[in-house]
Amino acid sequence: MWPQDCIIHKRDGGELSRKEIYRFITDYTSGNIPDYQAAAWLMAVYLQGMTARETTDLALAMAHSGRIADLSTVPGIKVDKHSTGGIADTTTLIVVPLVAAAGVPVAKMSGRGLGFTGGTLDKLEAIPGFSTQLTPNRFLQQIRQHGAAVMGQTTDLAPADKLLYALRDATGTVESLPLIAASIMSKKIAAGADAVVLDVKYGDGAFMKTPVQARQLAQQMVDIGTLAGLPTCAVLTSMEAPLGTAIGNSLEIDEAVETLAGKGNSRLKAVVEEIGSRMLYMAHCTDTVAAGREKLQAVWKSGAGLKKFKELIRAQGGETGWIGKHALTQAPFVYTAVSTEGGYITAIKAKTLGEIAMRMGAGRSKKEDAVQPMVGIRLFKELYDPVRPGEPLFTLYSMTEDNLPQLALQVAAAITVDAQLPNNPASVIGGSIEATI
């Protein structure tokens, strides 16, 4: 009896056929399978796991539950990138214009932030006039004309994933690696790119807490891409500390502009180089990843990346007159705290800072919440930097002066200053994953 047979088959450790998976996803999306039976199926998958082939079929079934974007009218190999989310992760805002300036078209469909991880759309919409609501035709036209575009995910993109994700959240099955991998890759497949570079985070400010967990997830997603005919690689990056120094929507736009102009901190620049060089390589723009790094650095140094960023902002209706003149962030209340100790920054609790910024209004605890574009935290130091007593440590940007001293104490408590650096400071790059199937 359907769908009980499919649920029992997986519950007892069986390997589901492609026909079973496609039928289950199709029937659930069309309303022919109720939530309670889908919940039982999800729990069976959570407990028994899935093979690489099953997980790929699940990703493909969810991708084909809606429209598959057709990017064939855009010349060249279109490369996408995806981050599993973290604190002060401004990578997309920097790497997209750099890669586009190097001649590789980038079609980026992004989401909004939920919880302490900021969404790319929220950040871009902090720019006055910037629109992320593009029609498919305008999206394609902009990529052809300007080399890149960033838009919000449409409702017809992998609708089965949206339904299953909501159910996973309510049934305690969010942590299943096959379900996470299939969810992410279903949207990447549906987005229509020719290749994908994944940025899989681990640590205090990430969903995956250890490098081992991140590597397992990355390998599953790379295997899905390979089996689905979508060239995919992954980079593992640390979120033990914030990636950049800006936590908040307009603040991260400011940091992106600074970094494209040649400034910026070393951790953020290292991740941008790692992701960007692989995007150029995956697009056959260079013969090796090392050559991709050299090309990306040359584009960066020439200023072409910042020029392209301004071009993309204008193409999507945003104002650029402030760039090079003043910061975008103009909050009515600011509070700067100084260090009371001297030494080195040996730890910054990324999750704690993300949660504080969310409470200030930079993020949302429910998807219906609005965000305040101009609030957040700007650090003056990054992990392993030296600091002197009395030196500025961070600034809070707020729409109200209420509780700013108390919030500053909480931020300060999340930053550790020691007399010496650790013997072996951890790199922000934790390795890479290539296809093995």
User: Is 168 an active-site residue?
Assistant: yes
- Secondary structure class of 149 (helix, strand, coil): strand
Contact yes or no for 255/268 (Cβ under 8 A): yes
Structure tokens at 140: 């394609």
Catalytic entry in 82, 162, 267, 349: 82
Catalytic entry in 108, 168, 267, 278: 168
Nearest to 280 by CA among 297, 266, 265, 268: 297
Catalytic entry in 161, 194, 204, 254: 161
User: Is 18 an active-site residue?
Assistant: no
At 135, give phi and psi (nearest 5°): -75, 155
Which DSSP state fits 325? T
Nearest to 201 by CA among 192, 193, 209: 209
User: Sign of torsion, CA 114 118 120 122?
Assistant: positive
> What's the Cα-to-Cα distance from 383 to each of 93, 405, 428, rounded to whole Å?
21, 23, 10
Residue count of the chain, please give it.
437
Catalytic entry in 83, 110, 176, 183: 183
Catalytic entry in 187, 215, 293, 295: 187
User: Is 82 an active-site residue?
Assistant: yes
Contact yes or no for 99/215 (Cβ under 8 A): no
Contact yes or no for 265/285 (Cβ under 8 A): no
Catalytic residues: 82, 161, 168, 183, 187
